[in-house]
Structure 1
Amino acid sequence: MRNIYEGLKDKNDYSVTVYLNGQKRLFTEYVHTIYSYTQWLQKKGIEWDYILVYVRRTRAVLCFYKKGDYLHSKPDFSIRGRTKQGW
């Protein structure tokens, strides 16, 4: 089994899919920090309910965040982000 964190190199490590009302709104392949990305969404007026965060290089799903969750620059899986069984 591959390590889910394999592929993290500290530069544009993440890809993010943005959802609103259960519908995919936007996919961004190169994301450096999760917090900055959500700030960019807010600045552009892009509404969202939750985001799904992937390791960009391996496409492994890391976690998802609901709007209003505390966001740090990088996911800290011990206290932030959510994971779903089967992802």
Structure 2
Amino acid sequence: IPNVFRDEYRKRFYDFLFENVTTCANVTKHTSIPQKYLCECKAYYENKKLLKVVGWGICPVTNSKNVQFLSTNPNIWNDAFLFPQSNQLKMF
């Protein structure tokens, strides 16, 4: 990616995920960053410890299951309300 696009995509990706916990497909939908660049953006921020997978669920764009929900906002990384509620305790 040319540096100007790479830097712009990274900034837009980071800023969107700071305000929104969502999937890469949803980032593409709202930011117009081509999906093929999102893996690079995701890896870049994960390597810098600035992005975390905060949950798994159904993608609001593709309806795919077990999709990663991402955030760059460390203030919500450990928020238990972001994680799907487990049915494990209801088994007994």
Same fold? TM cut 0.5: no
Q: Structure 1-normalised TM-score?
A: 0.29
More strand by share: 1
Q: Who wins on radius of gyration, i.e. which is larger?
A: 2
More helix by share: 2
